[in-house]
Chains A and B, each alone.
Chain A
C-alpha cells in the first residue's frame, strides 16, 4: 500500500492504521478506563468507589426500612452543596421536607439554611391514593415540570429522589408509571445530573419494583442486621459500571457526624515498617526490648490472668506517650475512665492532666452494646478523628463475648491493619486463663501482633509475686528472661533480681 520509501518504522505505522478495528481497539474505545466521579463526601464511601458516584448518572441506593438510605442520599446532597459547590435538589416522596430536615438536623445538616442560600431545593411530593381518582390516560409530566423547575431554581448538579417507588402505591397504573420512570432516568442522564434514587429492598430482588432494571449504572445496597440483639449496618457496592470498586461488605456507622463507611478490608499488607522506637513508659521494660522500647507503628499484646497488671502496663504506655506530647486514644471495654484513673493514681500515674490537655481520650463502651463491626467502625472513626500516635484497647478479650473467635480475629486483623497503616502504635490487653496458659482464642490473635508480653503470678512463700516476660518481639533482640515486678506507689517496677529460673545478669542483656 505504502510507497517504496517507507522505512520499516513507517510500515509498522501503516499496519496500525490499516487495522484500527481489532476487537481490542474496539473495547478500548467504548469503555473508557474510569468514568467521571462525583464525590459523596461520605467518609469511606469515596474510597470504596474510587472517587464517588458516577458523574452525571443515576445511582440506585437500596435497602430495607431504616437502613440509612435517606441519610446517605441527603449526605450526598448536603456535601455536594457545602463541599463541592454542586447545588442539589431533594425530591422526597415519603417524608415531608420538614420531617427530613428534622431527621438530619441531629447530624449537623441544616437543610433550611442551605435552601435559603440557594444551594438546595426541597420538594415534597405527596401522593395519596384515596384522594385521587384515575380516569383515562395520563403521564407524569407534572413531576418532570417540578423537577425541572427545582433544578433550574438552584442550578442543581445533583438530584435525590427519595423514595420514588412510593408512586407505585399512590397510582394504580403501573404500566404508565414504569414508562414514565424510564423516561425520568433518561431525562436525568440527558441533563448530566448526578442522581441518587433510593428504593426499598424487595423479596429476592434488589428493589421491590425492580428499579434496578432502569438504573443500571451503579447500585449500592445497604443492610441493617440485628444478630443476638446487636445491630450492624453494612454497605455493599453491588454494581458500578465502568469503574473499579471494592466488592466487600463494609460496615458503616451512623454517628453524630453523619454516615461513615469503613473501608478497612480494602487494605493490603503494604504499610511501611518504621525503624523508630518509642518507650513503653517503663525504663526497665524498654531495656528488655533491645534497650529502646517498641517499634513505632507496631502492635503489642499484653496478656495475663486477672490482677497481673495488664492495665498498669497500658497506663504507663499512655502516660509516656502524653509526656512526649503525643496523643493517645484509650478504648475501655470493661471499666469507666474514672475508675481506671483512680486505680492508676494508686500506682503513681495521674492521667487526668492529659485528658484535660486533650492529649488523652478515653472511649469506654461495653462490648455488648454493639456488634463487632460497629465497634470496628467506631474505633476507626475515632482514630481518624483524634489522630493519635498511640492507641490502647483494654481488654480485647471482652469482644470475644459478642462474636465467634473467627469473627473477632477478623475484626482485630482489620483494626490492626488500619492502625498499622495509620502508623499508630497500639497495645491490646488480653485476659488469659490462670497459670499463664495461653487460651486458644488468644493464640489466634497473637500471631497478628508484633510483640507479646506475658504477665503472670506465682505463689512463693505464701506471697503472690508478679512476673513479666517477652514471648516475642519481632525485629529486635529482646530479653528472654522472666522478670519479677512490683506495682509500687510510683509505678510498675521490674525487680533487678532474676526471675524464677534465670541466672542473674544485667538488665537488658
Chain B
C-alpha cells in the first residue's frame, strides 16, 4: 500500500463508500494484436493500483463473437466498458493515459 499512497492521486479506499463498490469491467478486443494486449496489461496494472480486490475483468474477443459488437455498441477497439457500477461508461484506446482512465471510470471524483 505504500506505493499507492505515494501516488499523486490518493488511494480510492480513502473514499467513504468506495470500498464496497465492485467494478465489473469488460475489455473488448479483436484478436491478440499488440494494441489489444497493451490495453489489457495497462488495465490490469490500473486495476491493481486503484481497484485492488474489487474488480472483475472480462475479456471479449470480437473476432470470436462478432455479434457481441452490435449488442454492446462497440465500434472502436480496444474498448473498455464499465458495466458496474452504473451508469455504463466507455473508454476507447489502449488505456495508456492513467488520468483519462480515472476520469473515464468516474474514479477521480471518488478519489478526491
Which chain A residue shows the least CB distance to B62?
A: A145
Cβ of A135 and Cβ of B76 under 8 Å apart?
no
The contact of A142 among B42, B79, B94, B103, by CB within 8 Å, is B79
Question: Bound complex: CA of A125 vs CA of B89, how far in Å?
Answer: 16
Check A190 for interface membership: any CB of B closer than 8 A: no
Interface residues of B (CB under 8 A from A): 28, 30, 35, 39, 42, 62-63, 66-67, 69-70, 73-79, 88-97, 100-101, 103-104
Digitize A135-160: 1 where CB-to-B-CB distance is under 8 Å, 0 elsewhere.
11111111101101110000000000
Which chain B residue shows the least CB distance to A135?
A: B100
Cβ of A133 and Cβ of B104 under 8 Å apart?
yes
- Interface residues in A, total, Cβ within 8 A: 24
- Residue among A136, A137, A148, A150 with most chain B CB within 10 A: A136
Cβ of B69 and Cβ of A135 under 8 Å apart?
no
- The smallest beta-carbon distance between B13 and chain A, in angstroms, is 23
- Kindly list chain A residues whose C-beta atoms are within 8 Å of the C-beta of B77: 138-142, 145
Given contacts A136-B39, A145-B77, 9 further A-B contacts (CB under 8 A): A132-B92, A133-B91, A136-B95, A141-B76, A142-B74, A142-B79, A146-B70, A149-B66, A150-B70
The contact of B69 among A131, A142, A167, A171, by CB within 8 Å, is A142
Question: Bound complex: CA of A140 vs CA of B92, how far in Å?
Answer: 10
- Residue among A125, A135, A139, A149 with most chain B CB within 10 A: A135
Question: Bound complex: CA of A133 vs CA of B73, how far in Å?
Answer: 15
The contact of B94 among A125, A136, A141, A149, by CB within 8 Å, is A136
Which chain A residue shows the least CB distance to B90?
A: A132
The contact of A134 among B28, B66, B93, by CB within 8 Å, is B93
10 closest pairs, A vs B, by CB?
A133-B104, A135-B100, A149-B66, A136-B94, A136-B93, A136-B96, A141-B77, A142-B74, A141-B30, A135-B93
Question: Bound complex: CA of A100 vs CA of B97, how far in Å?
Answer: 38
Cβ of A126 and Cβ of B94 under 8 Å apart?
no
- The smallest beta-carbon distance between B29 and chain A, in angstroms, is 9
Cβ of B91 and Cβ of A132 under 8 Å apart?
yes
- Kindly list chain B residues whose C-beta atoms are within 8 Å of the C-beta of A94: none
Check A127 for interface membership: any CB of B closer than 8 A: yes
